[in-house]
């Protein structure tokens, strides 16, 4: 397993490098249509990187960062609320959030189906998700997947089209954007 509890400083210092500018721009474009003071759940938030990026373009939003690694969350900036928990058991009531963000975190979840059930439960009607992850059909994506599995991680990396189909099974309509070996998916509960 990757010892995330000891890696907060690393992600805080270098974490943003893995987010290309185009993905940050996409995130801001996605957030443009989110209602004022909407509630954002940053799932597998680590140090709260996705919330930080979001805050640069929408500082009116409420950010809740959830992660099982307490010592990653302690690096979150003061405007980000934090909660130690896993994606498979999100400790909030149903229909609590307008948006769920998952930045390089989905592939770490132990049980993707249980996490998706929880995401659907805590999202409001017509709630949205933004996923950023690595495409396992590319050489780099495959290499990262192998490396993480060797470290004992679940390595639930997807070919984006397969994840899109899965999201549709959970009631989302989804749109993929590919960025070489990385991709984003924007999806809305219908």
> Look-up: residue for tokens 């709260």?
48
Interface segment toward ligand SAM; rule CB under 6 A; list 37-45, 116-124, 135-143, 162-170 = 37-45
CB of 178 to ligand SAM, least distance (A): 19
Region near ligand SAM per CB under 6 A, out of 99-107, 116-124, 165-173, 179-187: 99-107
Q: Please choose, out of 56-64, 105-113, 122-130, 173-181, the segment that lies near ligand SAM by the rule CB under 6 A.
A: 105-113
Question: Concatenated DSSP letters for the chain?
Answer: ---GGG-HHHHHHHGGGGS-HHHHHHHHHHHHTSPTT-EEEEET-TTTHHHHHHHHH-TTSEEEEEES-HHHHTTS-TTEEEEE-BTTB--S-TT-EEEEEEES-GGG-S-HHHHHHHHHHHEEEEEEEEEEEEBTTSHHHHHHHHHHHHTT-----B-HHHHHHHHHHTTEEEEEEEETTEEEEEEEE-
Q: Does 141 bind ligand SAM (CB under 6 A)?
A: no
Considering only 31, 38, 39, 46, the residue that binds ligand SAM (CB under 6 A) is: 46
- Per rule CB under 6 A, count of chain residues that contact ligand SAM: 23
Residue 68 or residue 127: which is nearer to ligand SAM going by CB? 68
Site for ligand SAM contains 53 (CB under 6 A)? no
Q: Which residue's entry shows tokens 């959830």?
A: 66
Which residue matches tokens 């059909």?
137
Nearer to ligand SAM, 26 or 88 (CB): 88
Residue 15 binds ligand SAM (CB under 6 A): yes
Residues engaged in binding ligand SAM (CB under 6 A): 4, 11, 15, 43-47, 49-50, 67-69, 72, 86-88, 103-105, 108-110
């Amino acid at each position: 397993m990757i010892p995330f509890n000891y890696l907060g400083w690393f992600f805080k210092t270098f974490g943003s490098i893995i987010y290309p500018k185009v993905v940050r721009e996409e995130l801001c474009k996605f957030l443009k249509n989110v209602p004022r003071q909407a509630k954002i759940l940053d799932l597998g938030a680590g140090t709260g990187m996705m919330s930080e990026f979001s805050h640069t373009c929408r500082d009116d939003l409420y950010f809740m960062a959830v992660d099982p690694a307490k010592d990653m969350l302690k690096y979150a900036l003061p405007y980000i609320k934090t909660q130690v928990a896993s994606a498979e058991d999100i400790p909030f009531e149903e229909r609590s959030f307008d948006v769920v963000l998952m930045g390089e975190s989905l592939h770490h979840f132990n049980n993707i189906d249980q996490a998706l059930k929880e995401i659907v439960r805590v999202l409001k009607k017509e709630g949205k998700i933004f996923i950023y992850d690595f495409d396992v059909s590319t050489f780099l994506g495959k290499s990262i997947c192998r490396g993480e599995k060797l470290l004992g991680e679940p390595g639930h990396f997807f070919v984006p089209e397969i994840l899109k189909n899965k999201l549709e099974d959970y009631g989302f309509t989804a749109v993929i954007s590919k960025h070489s070996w990385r991709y984003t998916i924007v999806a809305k509960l219908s």
